[in-house]
């Protein structure tokens, strides 16, 4: 990911960017966990970006803001053909964990959800909205994305891959 800033002009474009980001991460090392931190104000596009990730992971459930839940876990839709080649099926092996820490006041709340196990498990994509609320427990290896509202349909997204 050479460029570290992009401007999107629609929510569709933000979702397309999310898909591209995920494909780039998989190129780095396919079989690991990924921590993706989404910074930015309400309405800046964090959940929209997460919806793009879910589409790429072939998750059929609707992903929305889990504000009242703190965390929601999504599994990919079940394979229709059990003999699907590993390359075709590769995006389906991931579980998406979507955290929204907006209402979190103590990172212990996140630890209590099995955080250590989730971040050290296999094939997990861990997306965190409002990661600044839990900065004490964020792994050093992660992707940070900062979302800025420019106008109704335009968002600026800055990104930085840390220690990967
Ligand atoms: N370029 C864009 N990127 C992302 N969302 C956009 C864009 N343009 C308009 N939107 C709209 O802005 C809103 C973003 O909301 P959401 O993704 O829930 O933000 P957040 O999770 O950061 O609070 C959605 O209604 C989305 O359709
Ligand atoms: Mg949100």
Is the pLDDT at 90 greater than 90? The verdict is: no
Ligand 1 proximity of 52 Cβ (cutoff 6 Å): no
Check if the beta carbon of residue 94 is closer than 8 Å to that of residue 124.
yes
Q: Report the alpha-carbon distance of residue 124 to residue 122 in Å, rounded.
A: 6
Give me the mean pLDDT over the 71-84 stretch: 76
Please report how many Cα atoms fall inside a 13 Å half-sphere around the Cα of residue 103, on the Cβ side.
Answer: 7
pLDDT tens profile 4-20: 999 999 999 999 999 99
- Verify whether ligand 1 is closer than 6 Å to residue 155 (CB atom): yes
Q: What radius of gyration do the chain's Cα atoms show?
A: 15
- The pTM of the full predicted model, rounded to 2 decimals, is 0.93
Closest CA to 17 of 163, 158, 164, 162: 158
- In angstroms, the CA 68 to CA 3 distance is 35
Whether 136 is in a domain gets the answer: yes
CA of 116 to the centre of ligand 1 (A): 30
Q: Are 69 and 50 in contact (CB under 8 A)?
A: no
Please report which ligand is nearest the Cα atom of 48: 1
Query: Is any atom of ligand 1 closer than 6 Å to the C-beta of 44?
Result: yes
3-state helix, strand, coil in the chain (%, to 5): 35, 25, 40
Residue nearest to atom 18 of ligand 1 (CA): 47
Count how many domains the chain has.
1
Q: Which pLDDT score is estimated for 78?
A: 74
Q: Is residue 123 part of a domain?
A: yes
100: β partners: 129
Residue 157 lies in a domain: no
Question: Is residue 28 in some structural domain?
Answer: yes
* CA dist 58 → 1, 49, 75, 77, 116 (Å): 23, 15, 9, 6, 25
Edge-to-edge order in the sheet of strand 34-39? 5-8, 154-162, 142-151, 34-39, 124-129, 95-100, 71-74
Tell me, using a 6 A CB cutoff, whether residue 153 lines ligand 1: yes
Q: In ligand 1, which atom is closest to the CA atom of 40?
A: 22
User: pLDDT tens digits for 19-75?
Assistant: 999 999 999 887 789 999 999 999 999 999 999 999 999 999 999 976 678 999 999
Give the CATH number, domain containing residue 119. Answer: 3.40.50.300
Does the beta carbon of 64 lie inside 6 Å of ligand 1? no
Q: Which domain holds residue 139?
A: 5-104+115-152
């Amino acid at each position: 990911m050479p460029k570290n800033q992009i401007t999107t002009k629609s929510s569709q474009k933000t979702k397309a960017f999310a898909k591209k980001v995920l494909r780039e991460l998989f190129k780095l090392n396919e079989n690991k966990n990924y921590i993706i931190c989404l910074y930015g104000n309400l309405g800046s596009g964090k959940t929209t970006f997460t919806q793009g990730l879910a589409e790429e992971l072939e998750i059929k459930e609707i992903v929305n803001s889990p504000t009242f839940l703190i965390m929601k876990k999504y599994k990919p839709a079940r394979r229709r053909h059990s003999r699907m080649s590993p390359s075709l099926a590769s995006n389906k092996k991931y579980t998406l964990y979507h955290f929204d820490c907006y209402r979190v006041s103590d990172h212990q709340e996140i630890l209590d959800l099995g955080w250590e196990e989730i971040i050290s498990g296999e094939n997990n994509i861990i997306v965190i909205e409002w990661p600044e609320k839990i900065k004490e427990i964020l792994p050093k290896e992660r992707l940070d994305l900062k979302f800025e509202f420019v106008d109704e349909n335009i968002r600026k997204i800055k990104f930085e891959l840390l220690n990967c």
